[in-house]
């Protein structure tokens, strides 16, 4: 592994850890209180991630990641769909 690869993996890991904590707090506190902005934040963030990550993976031929993303978006998107009425009315 090159120094650049090591740096890239380390920074990417730190980014994922930080965003994971951020999402956990949104889901645990304002989402639980049915604050509309929390639902919107999770839906928009999930949508942007899915479109960009899946599109780039498809473009580079990484089909495993495309299928993995579909599973993840279904697993995380379904609860958001089913809770929509609690936030939107």
Please give the chain's pLDDT, 89 residues, in tens.
Answer: 899 999 999 999 999 999 999 999 999 999 999 999 999 999 999 999 999 999 999 999 999 999 999 999 999 999 999 999 999 87
pTM of the predicted model over 0.85: no
Would you kindly state where each structural domain of the chain is located, as residue ranges?
Answer: 36-89
62 DSSP 8-state letter: -
> CA 80 to CA 82: how far, in whole Å?
5
């Amino acid at each position: 592994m090159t120094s650049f690869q090591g740096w890239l993996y380390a920074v990417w890991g730190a980014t994922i850890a930080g965003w994971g904590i951020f999402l956990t707090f949104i889901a645990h506190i304002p989402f639980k209180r049915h604050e509309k902005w929390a639902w919107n934040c999770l839906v928009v963030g999930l949508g942007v991630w899915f479109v960009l990550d899946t599109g780039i993976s498809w473009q580079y031929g990484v089909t495993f990641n495309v299928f993995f993303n579909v599973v993840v978006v279904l697993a995380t998107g379904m609860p958001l769909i089913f809770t929509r009425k609690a936030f939107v009315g």
